[in-house]
Amino acid sequence: MTSPAQAQDDSAATVDDQLGYFLGFTVGSSFAQQGFKPSDFTVEGMNQGLTDALSQKDPALSDEQLQEIQGKIQAMMEKRQAARMAEFQKQGVANKEKSELWMKQNAKAEGIKELEGGLQYKVVKEGEGASPSAEDTVAVHYTGKLTNGEVFDSSVQRGQPAKFPVNRVIQGWQMALQQMKVGSKWMLYIPPELAYGENGSPPKIGPNEVLVFEVELLEIL
């Protein structure tokens, strides 16, 4: 049975013009990030423009036409951005309600404690070392999840502890780390206002999301 990796390699091997494919993929990725869609233009038109530009020919469109097209592109992108922002705000309102309900329910679970500001935590293992200050740099292992269980970041999966100043991370982490002792492992349940708030951290963390972390404080550096 062919593995997904093998299938991908076989597909790549069938590309005759690998340089052209690389350039096209790079340009296409850039366009996608800017908000363009495949239906916005034809490959034939794009190819003609590329060929004329590479051949150092004069544009097939007049200056007036070029300016008109630029205006249409700007208007199209502004409209799409407005639609994305409206949807993001709508999602933020829904997530806020879900997050508040989730935190209330989680507070009733066995072993859950709460710090000032609404940060909930559960001690998995209690350490015996010192507790860091806000100015200290620490080494930790962690796994971050959304409330649906989806992992969005994990030093454990990378196999490399994270090292950072305590005062450079989200507020929920700052509060918890200064209460933890070296060797401790806690579960953190961080409300949006102590995490990424209404802005979220796209694309993995939406607006007003509760974040769930398993954090092990390895050492103070």
- Please identify which of the residues 121, 189, 190, 196 carries the catalytic annotation: 196
Q: Tokens in use for 120?
A: 């909930």
91 exposure class (CB count in 10 Å sphere: 0-12, 13-18, 19+): middle
Q: Any catalytic annotation for residue 213?
A: yes
Q: Any catalytic annotation for residue 205?
A: no
- Single-letter amino acid code for the residue at 18: Q
- Please identify which of the residues 121, 142, 189, 205 carries the catalytic annotation: 142
Q: Any catalytic annotation for residue 142?
A: yes
97/185 Cα distance (integer angstroms): 29
191 preceded by cis ω (within 30°)?
Answer: no
121/40 Cα distance (integer angstroms): 49
171/19 Cα distance (integer angstroms): 46
- Please identify which of the residues 31, 36, 88, 152 carries the catalytic annotation: 152
Q: Any catalytic annotation for residue 153?
A: yes
- Please identify which of the residues 31, 36, 136, 153 carries the catalytic annotation: 153
119 exposure class (CB count in 10 Å sphere: 0-12, 13-18, 19+): buried
Q: Any catalytic annotation for residue 36?
A: no
Phi, psi of 161 (to 5 degrees): -60, 150
Active-site positions read 142, 152-153, 170, 196, 213
